[in-house]
Amino acid sequence: MSEQIREQVSAFLDGELPSSETELLLKRLTRDVDLRESFGRYALIGEILRGTESGVGRYPLSRGFAAGVNAAINGEAAPGGSPSIQARAPRWWRPVAGAAVAAGVAAVAVVALQQRTVAPSVRTVVPVMAQNVAQSVAKPKEALSYTVPAVAPADESPPMLPAARLTSYVFAHSRYSSVLGQSNVLSGLLADADEQAPPDSRAVELPAVNRTVGNDAAPPRSSRDPRIAP
Site for another protein in 97-126 (CB under 8 A): 105-106, 108-111, 113-114, 117, 123-126
Distance CA 176, CA 211 (A): 12
> Cβ 3 to another protein, closest distance in Å?
20
Identify which of residues 62 and 98 has a Cβ nearer to another protein in the complex. Answer: 62
CB 76 within 8 A of CB 41: yes
Applying CB under 8 A, does 141 fall inside the site for another protein? yes
Tell whether residue 160 is a contact of another protein (CB under 8 A).
yes
C-beta separation of 117 from 83 below 8 A = no
Told to check if 152 binds another protein by CB under 8 A, we report yes
Nearer to another protein, 3 or 16 (CB): 16
Per CB under 8 A, contacts with another protein among 166-205 are 166-193, 196-197, 199-205
CB 170 within 8 A of CB 185: yes
Binding positions for another protein, 18-77, rule CB under 8 A: 18-19, 22-23, 25-26, 29-30, 36-37, 39-41, 43-44, 47, 54-60, 62, 64-65, 68, 72, 75
CB neighbourhood size of 108 (10 A): 21
Residues in 1-20 at the binding interface with another protein, rule: CB under 8 A: 12-19
- Which contacts (CB < 8 Å, 24+ apart) does range 11-14 have? 13/42, 13/43, 13/46, 14/46
How far apart are alpha carbons 82 and 87 in whole angstroms?
9
How far is 229 from 85, CA to CA, in rounded Å? 42
Q: Which is nearer to another protein, 2 or 179 (CB)?
A: 179
Query: How many chain residues touch another protein (CB under 8 A)?
Result: 139
